[in-house]
Structure 1
């Protein structure tokens, strides 16, 4: 089971390296890496597990963050319609993007970044992706093509950047005049 001690932090050289393609069909080792990534994210959203193992909450985790330089990541997040997007992507690609850009008010966070950051990270509001996702019943990576929008799109892009050695901390801007906030904060709303 992955815990915070397994997660490498900002400054580790692997976090700025491009990850290698995963060979298909999946090896037992690669399946286990994918399983453990998703297990961490799910555990980190369970209050009892967070307390017991001192986990930081998360909606995504890339293999490189546990120092495995392979193109795979897990995400486990609900969209604004309460639809759960729970996947382990293998060799993902972004094949199309929306014109609209968005951002998370207050900025993004990352398990590999232990410091407060200031600034906003631009993301495409919607993306079309392809690659493979792990089917946990058959233990195989199955081809997939899908469109993600809103919060799941942002999570995908954050984790996808990790596969290319890009940290969100290199994409921080004080303001993004051409982008819109993904949701309103109390500061944004009028009284």
Structure 2
């Protein structure tokens, strides 16, 4: 089980590397790592488990965050309509996106960043993601709202990009023209 001490923090060089593709079919070791990422996000949202093991709640986690520079992410969250998005994916990629932008009203956080970094993080309002599940099935997901933001955040980790790289340094809360504001 992944614990908070297994999650590397901002400044660690692995967080700035472009992660390697996972060779398919995935090895048993890679499957175990990917399954453990999903297990962490699920456990971290369970108040009893989080309290017992000192887990910070998260809705997504990428393999580079546990110092494994491979293209693997896990996401577990519900959208504003109550639809559950629970995915563990190998080699996820954005295959298309909207021109329209969106951002979380409260800004973003990250399990690898201990302090709050205020500011709007502009992202695509809608994305289509392709990836391979733990069972070796290719999936194509059309996402909007919080799920779209979360998947983009995690895929950024695979490319060595941190959420705060998107924040306007001069004016962190500068409104993004025409963007959808997502409440969380």
Q: TM-score, normalised by structure 1?
A: 0.91
Do the aligned partners of 2:122 and 2:176 also contact (CA within 8 Å) in 1?
no
Query: 2 CA distance for matches of 1:177 and 1:37?
Result: 32
Distance in 1 between the 2:136 and 2:85 partners?
17
- Confirm whether residue 177 of structure 1 aligns to residue 176 of structure 2: yes
Within the alignment, does 1:15 sit opposite 2:10 as a pair? Answer: no
Contact 2:18–2:158 under 8 Å retained in 1: yes
Partner of 2:31: 31
TM alignment of 1:37-186, pairs within 5 A: 37-134=37-134, 140-173=135-168, 174=172, 175-178=174-177, 179-183=179-183
Tell me the SS of whatever aligns to 1:141.
Answer: coil
Return 5+ residue gaps in structure 1 as ranges.
135-139, 186-191
Distance in 2 (CA, whole Å) between partners of 1:35 and 1:100 is 33
- Work out the CA distance in 2 between the residues paired with 1:142 and 1:78: 22
Contact 2:103/2:123 (CA < 8 Å) preserved in 1?
A: yes
Runs (4 or more) in structure 1 with deviation over 6 Å come to none
What is the RMSD of the two structures over their aligned residues, measured on CA atoms? 1.1
Q: How many residues align?
A: 179
TM norm structure 2: 0.94
Offset of 1:145 from its aligned partner?
1.2
Whole-angstrom CA distance in 1 between matches of 2:139 and 2:47:
32
